[in-house]
Amino acid sequence: MDQILGNISLLFEFPVVNLKIVIDGLMIGALFALAAYGLALVWGVMNVKNLAQGDFVIAGGYVAWYLAKLGLPPLFGVPIAFVIMWGIGWVIYKTVISRVIERDLFTSLLATFGLAIMMAQIMNLLFGSDTQSIQLQYDTLYMFDGFVDIPIAKLLGVAMAAALAAGVIFFMKSSRMGQAIRATAQDARAARVLGINTEKVYSFTFSLNAAICGAAGAIIVMVWVIQPFYGITYSIRSFVIVTAAGLGNLPGVIAAGLGIGAAEQYGAHIFGIGYQQAIAVLLLLFVLIYRLIQQKRLRQSLK
Amino acid sequence: MNKTISALGCLASASLLMTQPAFAADCETITLGSAISLTGKYATNGVHAKNGYEFAIKKIADNGGVKMGDKCYNFEVIYYDDESKGDRGATLAERLISQDKVQYMLGPYSSGLTKAIAPVTEKYKIPMVEAEGASRSLFNKGYEYLFAVLSTSEQYLASAVALAAEKAEAEGKSPSDVKVAIAVENDPFSLDIRAGVQEDAAKYGMNVVIDEQLPRDLSDMSAILTKVKLLKPDLLVVSGHSKGAATAVRQIGEQKIDTPMIALTHCEAADVVGNFGAAANDILCSTQWAETLTYEDEIFGTASNYEKEFKTEYTEYTDKKVPYQTAQASAAVYVFKDAFERADSLDKDKVRDAIAATNLKTFYGDIKFAEAGNNIAKPMVLRQIQDGEYNVVAPSAFASHPLNWPRKP
């Protein structure tokens, strides 16, 4: 308790620390938002709650790490991870997801859960269980007497995440496929009646999700560390963010992602870093309770 | 159909005959059992341990095997993969003992797995020599059949506290002015390290200003490091297996943490020098064993000879250091050899008593077991990363290089 009070008083004693916490939080939040956006897509369009979301992220990270080890410039890892994970996503859709998509919720949960375990173990066998990261040779910017440090690698990562998000939004708004995806999300049957090939939409959406996650992972490996069994961290965050923001609410997903990043950093500062993930889960609980109350009052359905 | 089966049978027996190596022809076999992590989160270190076992078995066989009277024996190990899971480990230990009739066990990897398996070996009164479970909670349960060749985990970083006190005195300050920051993972091994550091810090009257527990899936510890920046401790202790070491070194570099002394575990496993270069400079790393130490024995030769021969046998280690996890696994097999020879019997209880009476000098260090089964004869070693090299700086009896202090961020 004393330590918690001491930590809070530090925030007031050194106000600049708040800035540092918020910046750190927003940076990691941007990557959470990316993975969550992919989840929102799959969830909204196909009604598949993908528990292997985090493992796609980690797989993308390993693709980038492996390429960097072969001597490729690390930044190229991001687009290449996007492409390779697209392919892996497509294969997974054709072999697993397409078989469970029409089944009930439980089947698809079970299938993606199994997928998550499989992927983690395959990565473990391929790359070993050590933590890996790519060290970029960029400087770190220091401000406010060195209290706020912004590694340029992190800035680059956030910029790439933003560019990717913008690209995907533009694609969804303006392309034929984007329209078809949105139509399928609204009503798959109606879309089929109107001549949209929903099977194609599904496989495209799932591949796109894997690709987005892969790019996010490729960024993560440059700024943080990855390990074959770290997927669950990103899966949990994605679920929290999507549940909080609601499906089909893109600005909401981004805001929730950034918010959760910042809230976690504050939680880690005040309660200790061991409670960082607990903060995320606690937030989920609050959101669910709030949603339930809201639903009761307005008789809405939780979409 | 019958023909195929008998043909297969012939083939199988032929291949059996052919795989019998020449030296083993006149020696009998002693079968050991081990559940070890070949998959799952401990897979890397599990494989290191298994390689250590296998290398020792080969070396012992090359040196004439285990000699008892006029007979000689070679070791053979039945391995099962425990998938890095405790419940699986316990089940496999049951299976080794009751189905495969194994009478002697080698340990698994990690304290957690050893904790899961020890009650089983204890129940069947099967002696187990383990090399990879350092948690001291293994040695306060009154186990009589569990022996560990390595130093217990509360000793890992405790010597860093003594070193910090020494430096404070040299500066003309009192050791009780030293401020300590602790960040360890929430698992039995790291909590032991925390306990060891806390105990030693309390002995000097030092002030622990940060005491936090890292999550299992740690990838960002900037929150702790920001506090370190504000509270300016004199000693920062981090233990969280290889992910803890990797995250700490990377972010210590990024945030320009200028703490004069930083001590970690698992530097080698995380390859902090290879991954982060200059950021790792002057960081202290604890180790059970280093190839530069002056230990030796008649089977493996000196510590550096062990490293050299191991690398020729296992070429995948050519470009890296042989981890201490491998060396201590080999030492565990050596303890069995020595105990069998002294017991002069295959009876498991006689062997158990012989192990308990072990007093052995090995390439890995001296081995002598306390009543509780932990090795009390071997100290932990602190190495400092100096220009990318791991140099032994403490305890002073083994130090090959002076300590760089304060470290230069």
* Tokens of residue B73, six digits: 């024996």
Domain definitions of chain A by residue range: 2-298
Give the 3-state secondary structure of residue B223. Answer: helix
Average of per-residue pLDDT across A266-276: 85
Interface of A with B in 166-225 (CB under 8 A): 220, 224-225
Residue B16 binned pLDDT confidence (cut-offs 50, 70, 90): very low
What is the reported pLDDT for B60? 95
Domains in chain B (CATH in brackets) are 12-151+292-368 (3.40.50.2300), 155-287+381-394 (3.40.50.2300)
pLDDT of residue B14: 47
Residue A170 has pLDDT above 70, yes or no: yes
Of B45, B215, B226, which has the smallest distance from its Cβ to A274's Cβ?
B215
What's the pLDDT score for residue B73?
A: 94
The B128-130 sheet, strands edge to edge:
B66-68, B71-81, B28-36, B104-106, B128-130, B146-148
- Those of residues 127-156 in A touching chain B at CB distance below 8 A are 128-131, 133, 135, 140, 142, 146-147, 149, 151
For residue A295, is pLDDT > 80?
no
H-helix segments, B171-302: 188-204, 222-231, 241-254, 267-270, 272-276
- What is the secondary structure of B352-396 as a DSSP string? HHHHHT-EEEETTEEEEB-TTSBB-S---EEEEEETTEEEEEEST
- Contact residues, A window 217-276, toward B, CB-based 8 Å cutoff: 220, 224-230, 232-233, 265, 268-269, 272-274, 276
Average pLDDT of every residue of chain A: 88
Mean pLDDT of B151-164: 89
| Disruptive mutation site among B83, B214, B227 for chain A (greatest number of A CBs within 10 Å) | B227
The segment with the largest mean pLDDT, out of A44-48, A183-187, B221-225, B334-338, is B334-338
The values of phi and psi at residue B88, to 5°, are: -65, -45
* A8-17, A28-37, B94-103, B334-343: the lowest-pLDDT one: A8-17
The residue of chain B with its CA nearest to that of A277 is: B215
- Quick check: B223 and A230 CB within 8 A? no
Mean of pLDDT over chain B: 88
Is the Cβ–Cβ distance between B340 and B68 less than 8 Å?
A: yes
CB atoms A274 and B213 under 8 Å? yes
Separation of alpha carbons B384 and A222, rounded Å: 26
Taking the Cβ of residue B406 and every Cβ of chain A, the question of whether any pair is shorter than 8 Å is answered with: no
Evaluate if residue B23 carries a pLDDT over 90.
no
pLDDT of residue A88: 96
Give the Cα separation of B379 and B357 in Å (integer). Answer: 19
Q: What is the largest CA-CA distance in chain B?
A: 88
- pLDDT mean over A59-88: 93
Cβ contact, residue pair B219, A230, below 8 Å: yes
**DSSP-assigned letter for residue B186:** S
User: Using one digit for the tens of pLDDT, what is the confidence trace for A109-119?
Assistant: 999 999 999 99
B44 shares contact with chain A (CB less than 8 Å): yes
pLDDT value of residue A301: 52
What chain A residue is nearest to B210 in terms of C-alpha separation?
Answer: A3
CB-based contact A227 B243, cutoff 8 Å = yes
Q: What is the CATH number of domain A2-298?
A: 1.10.3470
Q: What are phi and psi of A227, to 5 degrees?
A: -155, 150
- Angstroms from B241 CA to nearest CA on chain A: 9
State pLDDT tens for residues B75-110.
999 999 998 899 999 999 999 999 999 999 999 998
- Closest alpha carbon to A45 in A186, A175, A235: A186
pLDDT of residue B24: 47
- Residue B325 and residue B303: Cα distance in Å, rounded? 14
Condensed to tens digits (0 to 9), the pLDDT of residues B246-303 reads 889 988 988 889 999 999 998 887 888 888 888 899 999 999 998 888 899 999 999 9
